[in-house]
């Protein structure tokens, strides 16, 4: 009998998250309230506290949009973005009327490099948006270059919690803002949601205002304040990007489990690294000794001597009952970005070539040892 299909990813949810969400619902706070405020405080503390401020939002896409808006990106500006990312990283640039400038990536890490950024800087460059692909932090030299050129950095850390680039936790450095994702498949989840962190109080205040219609007082503040609850001022044309209390309650539990879940993913990754070392695949970069990889994804790359294309490998794995995925289809290969930016495959040769080889294997923290061994066995049967 065929085994039950193993999905590419599943959330790691315990009874504690379920109970926390139910308790929040029973409290009467269904929108942004005390649990969101607590989640923001605890998240900032997780990264080291001090002057770090955290702003909870309903998606990482919303967080990226808010961060770029807060630094003043707009029409006529350019924002440097790696082509190796999900479309959200670039689409938020378009939301503001600015232009994404796509750059190629390092063939080992699939992260952008200081050299690729340097070549893309122009007088119109407003910001840099590095992506910590798969949970491997971008080389700190990229931030150093941006700082030397006076370019604000908005980090897309959707894959990178918790992670450390060797100089400190991702999100605790000198970026203008860092944005984390709590989507259902991410390293911690609230179902949908995200968090923006910054050390700049003015940026934090602007993002808090803009996440809820440009209103000068948070919902929670309006209902707990001694001032009239109905009195508020709209100071800008904002958005509807706030997180709910039931989601934040779930996030608080996930935050307490974050290190243990990261360690489980790291253990799965090590099992794969050992098991696949003799196969005709290139294994993912791990970073230096001081780097803490979040292992959101485990991405292998097919070699030509393996005798199977990426697509054929995925089909064979599906027949074996194991779900795989591809991260990412580079932006310049999508019709909209290709047509609107005029980006050709030859302009971004590393990403164009590596796309044909990449496969993401199941590597989520809720996997059992038996499921991990299923993946190992399937990969080895397909490739040997």
Question: Is residue 240 among the annotated active site residues?
Answer: no
Contacts of 145 (CB under 8 A, 6+ apart): 114, 117, 118
For 60-98, give the DSSP string: HHHHHHHHHHHTT--TT-EEEEESSS-HHHHHHHHHTT-
Across the beta sheet with 99-103, the strand order is: 99-103, 78-82, 125-128
* Rounded Cα–Cα distance for residues 348 and 68 (Å): 25
Task: Indicate the burial class of 161 (C-beta count within 10 angstroms; 0-12, 13-18, 19 or more).
Answer: buried
- Of 338, 352, 327, 355, whose CA–CA distance to 90 is shortest? 338
Cα-to-chain-centroid distance, residue 91: 15
Token couple for 85:
């990312």
* Rounded Cα–Cα distance for residues 309 and 328 (Å): 16
Q: Which residues are catalytic?
A: 186
């Amino acid at each position: 009998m065929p085994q039950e299909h193993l999905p590419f990813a599943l959330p790691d949810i315990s009874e504690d998250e379920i109970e926390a969400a139910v308790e929040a619902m029973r409290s009467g706070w269904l929108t942004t309230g005390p649990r969101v405020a607590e989640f923001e405080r605890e998240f900032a503390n997780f990264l080291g506290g001090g002057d770090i401020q955290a702003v909870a939002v309903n998606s990482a896409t919303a967080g990226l949009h808010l961060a770029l808006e807060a630094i003043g990106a707009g029409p006529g500006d350019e924002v440097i973005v790696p082509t190796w990312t999900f479309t959200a990283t670039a689409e938020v640039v378009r939301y503001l009327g600015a232009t994404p400038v796509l750059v190629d990536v390092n063939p080992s890490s699939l992260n952008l490099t200081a050299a690729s950024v340097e070549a893309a800087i122009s007088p119109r460059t407003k910001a840099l948006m590095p992506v910590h692909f798969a949970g491997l932090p971008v080389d700190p030299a990229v931030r150093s270059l941006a700082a030397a050129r006076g370019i604000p950095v908005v980090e897309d850390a959707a894959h990178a919690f918790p992670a450390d680039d060797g100089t400190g936790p991702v999100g605790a450095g000198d970026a203008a803002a860092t944005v984390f994702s709590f989507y259902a498949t991410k390293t911690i989840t609230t179902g949908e949601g995200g968090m923006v962190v910054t050390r700049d109080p003015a940026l934090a205040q602007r993002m808090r205002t803009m996440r809820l219609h440009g209103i000068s007082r948070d919902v929670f503040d309006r209902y707990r304040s001694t001032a009239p609850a109905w009195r508020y001022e709209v100071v800008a044309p904002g958005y509807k990007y706030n997180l709910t209390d039931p989601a934040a309650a779930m996030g608080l539990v996930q935050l307490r489990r974050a290190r243990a879940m990261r360690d489980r993913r790291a253990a799965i990754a090590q099992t794969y690294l050992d098991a696949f070392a003799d196969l005709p695949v290139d294994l993912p970069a791990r970073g230096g000794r001081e780097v803490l990889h979040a292992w959101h994804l485990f991405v292998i790359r097919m070699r030509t001597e393996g005798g199977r294309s990426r697509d054929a490998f995925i089909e064979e794995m599906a027949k074996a009952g194991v779900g795989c995925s591809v991260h990412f289809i580079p932006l310049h290969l999508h019709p909209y970005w290709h047509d609107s930016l005029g980006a050709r495959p030859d302009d971004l040769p590393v990403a164009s070539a590596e796309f044909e080889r990449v496969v993401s294997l199941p590597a989520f923290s809720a996997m059992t040892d038996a499921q991990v061994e299923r993946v190992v066995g399937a990969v080895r049967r397909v490739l040997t």
